[in-house]
Structure formats: structure tokens, C-alpha cells
Amino acid sequence: MTIRAARLKRLTGAVTAAAMVAFVAACGSGGASDSADAGADGAVTLEFAQWWGAELPAEDFNKIIDDFTAKNPNIKIKLLSAPYASTKQQLLTGAASKTLPDVVGLDGAWVNDFAKQGAITDMSKLMTEAGYDAGQLASQVQLDGKTYMIPVVNFVYPLFVNKDLLTKAGVADVPGTRSEFLDAAKKISATGDNVKGWALPLDTAVPNGIQNDVMSWLWASGGSMLKDGKPNLTSPQVKSTVEYVKSLNDADVIAPGSLTMKEQDKVEKFTNGQVGMMIDSLAHINLIKKNKPDLKVEIAALPAEDGYTGKRGIPYASWGIGISDSTEHKAEAFKFVSYLMSQEANAKLSTIANGFPGNKNAEPDFSDSDPMFKTAFDIYQQGYPANEFVGLPKAEELMRDFDDQLQLVLTGKTSVDEALQKSQESWSSVIE
């Protein structure tokens, strides 16, 4: 998204009570330095809060962490793993009170606010002090020339299709244009059994559906919601995008309950065969296959406007990483970060996550991965990563404001033009 930061996705998984208690205690204590004091043996314990562990095979993720501690016996890592939504809420609280755990998983949408709150530290300084070669990083999320987040693993959000439902609907090919998508969605919806063509999560509590499921149509046709860094929501391209989403809604091809639907609900509906198509994170392939091993899934680039021949923007989200500004062990924390970004460790992590490495010299291993991983990599290389929310101030507030207006459009309470004008005014008061 700079590498939404859009995401990924991210399912609400099972978390033990002990892990959640530990997470809450970490964010509600007197600060990261309290939890990372050196022990009797001189070792420093760093708390690492993230949602990654809830989405990865535990054995593989733990081995990567264990490899670090084996090489650095003076540093211990205490994993605080929880689902994305839980992690987000705890880190928002911790950032406001400057009590973040020592190392934190970051979504690009949080970076601007966390940095302005003084909750996460400038890692550019730490890189210089450690003599770290930043040239190996595929990207960095910066504000005022200072790096506050490093994308560790990047996930694209391609179009997922249920091939059995497409075949049942008489659709031979995966849609490549907006008109083809609408036609396929109508035919899938006409098959009955309460099946719909598409799922659109618009719950305002977690409004990333605006990034992943709405603006993605804009980016797929080379469009932008900004001009010279300022909101440009009344442009013909943005209007065309909203009108297209409205046309899908008017055609009754969207799964019911979209106004309160969360991303994990969308994935569950697709996995259960209740919707034929969705835009989703590549990270969820393993989970979908685990829950429905016989589901025939295919992925493709997002459909573009009819007649568009340029490169297609593909939404992406990152597992970003940052360091608490309140920790007394920044050097040790950056040593851990630099390990995760090393060529070998980053390749392993991106492989088990079905994502793309944040170290540009690392290569994921496709040999044991689902073939769709390689397909997604090809899509990624043929297009360009697009997530304009990364690094914007109050990014989630911007999404929520747009979400509110879009819901009014979809429920017939306002026009597209009026909704975009109000969103433009709202965004302009935030992005100065």
C-alpha cells in the first residue's frame, strides 16, 4: 500500500485466555520498559505483539523465533499473538498511553497516528547506529523522512472465484472487466440457494472494506483517490467506481448483511459456498483450503474498467513492524527486527505466510506452496502495488467517513455526487 499497508487479511482466530491476559497486561502496564528489563541471567525479554501468530502454523512461526533466540541468547522474545481486530484495539490503546510492547506488528494505516503520538520510534536512527544496510529493504513507511515501519511480508488482494459456482452459473471464464464481473455475479446469484455473486464487508467498526473491496476497483483501472497528495474524491474515476459498486448492489448480487459485515465474515461466506467471488488477501489461502479442501478456487487480477489496457493496481497489505518509543531496549529490539528482515528469515516467513518478502533479496519457496501463490506473484509482477491509505493521517477515520457516505448511497438515502462531495470535505479537513 508505500508497502494497506490493506489488511491483510486477517481472520478472528482462537486465542488462549492466557495470551489475551498477557496482551492486555502488556498494553496496560507502565510501559514497554517494565516488561523488557534484564533478567537475573542478564538476558533481555522483548514483548512482540502481533496478529501474525494467529494466522500462521504455530510450529513454523515459533521455529523462526527460536532460531533468533538461539543465535542471540541474551535476548528472549515473548510472543503476544492475537487476531488482527484484537491486536488493533490493544495497540490503539497502548499507543495513546505510550505503553506499547517493545516490538509491534503494524498496519500501514496506523503509522501516521502512532508516530505523531510519539508511540513508535524513528528506526532510521537505529539503522544508522547498527550500521544496517537499508538498501536490502523492498520498502519503508516514512514520515518526514524518518522510517517508522518496515514491511516484513506483503500480501496482495486478488480476485478469488469459486470455480464450481461459476461453472454452475454457466460462466466459462473468470471475469476480466467490470461488465464481465457484473454479468457473472448476476448469473451466480440466479442459481438460487441464497448464493450471491459477491461479498462486500462494510462494517464501520473495522472499515478496511473501503480500502480492500471498494477502492480496489479504482486502483485496478489505474485510478487514484488523491491528486498532489490531496483528496480527489469528486473525480470522474472515483465517481465511476462508486457508481459501479452501486450497480452491483442495485442488481442484488451482493451477499446480505454487507453494512455490518466484517472481513472474516466475507471469507467464511466464500469458504462455505455462499458467495462466488470476493477480493481477499492471499494470506487466507491456507485457511480456506484447510476448512474446505475440496473447494475449487482460482485467483485472478481484479477486473478493470471496460477498455482499460494499462497496468492494473492490485491492493496489498503488509505485516509491518515497528519499535515502541518507550522501550529501554531499542538496540535489542532493532536486532530482532533486522533478523526478521534478513534474507534467510524473511524468505522463510514470507513462504509460510503465503506472502511476498520485505527483503528484496529474499525469494519465497514455491515448491511446497499452493500453486495459487505463484499465480499471485505473477499478477503482482504484471501490475503494481496500490494502497493509497498507507501513511495517510487518521487513515481508518478516512475509511470510516467514506464508508458512512457509501452506506447512505447503497440504502438510497443520498446520491453518489452528494456522498463524494461530503467525503471530499471531510477528508480535506484531515489531509492538509
Query: Do 315 and 226 contact (CB within 8 A), yes or no?
Result: no
Length of the chain: 432
3 state SS of 231:
strand
- For residue 11, the model assigns a pLDDT of 33
Give this prediction's pTM: 0.74
Query: Do 42 and 72 contact (CB within 8 A), yes or no?
Result: no
Query: Do 200 and 213 contact (CB within 8 A), yes or no?
Result: yes
- For residue 290, the model assigns a pLDDT of 85
159-279+393-428 has the same fold as 17-154+317-386: yes
| CA nearest neighbour of 359 among 133, 50, 201 | 133
3-state secondary structure 343-390: HHHHHHHHHHHCCEECECCCCCCCCCCCHHHHHHHHHHHHCEEECCCC
* Cα–Cα distance measured from residue 391 to residue 376, given in angstroms and rounded to the nearest whole number: 25
Give me the residue spans of the domains in the chain.
Answer: 17-154+317-386, 159-279+393-428
Q: Which fold has domain 17-154+317-386?
A: D-Maltodextrin-Binding Protein; domain 2 (3.40.190)
Q: Taken in order 92, 96, 97, 103, is the CA torsion positive or negative?
A: positive
* Cα–Cα distance measured from residue 131 to residue 336, given in angstroms and rounded to the nearest whole number: 14
CATH number attached to the domain at 159-279+393-428: 3.40.190.10
pLDDT in tens, the chain (432 residues): 433 333 333 333 333 333 433 444 444 444 444 444 555 567 999 999 999 999 888 999 999 999 999 999 999 999 999 998 899 999 999 999 999 999 999 998 899 999 999 999 999 999 999 999 999 998 889 888 999 999 999 888 999 999 999 999 999 999 999 999 999 999 999 999 999 999 999 999 989 999 999 999 999 999 999 999 899 999 999 999 999 999 999 999 999 999 999 999 999 999 999 999 999 988 788 789 888 999 999 999 999 999 999 999 988 888 999 999 999 999 999 999 999 999 999 999 998 888 888 998 998 887 777 788 888 888 877 888 889 998 889 999 999 999 999 999 999 999 999 999 999 999 999 997
Which residues touch 56 (CB under 8 Å, ≥6 apart)? 352, 353
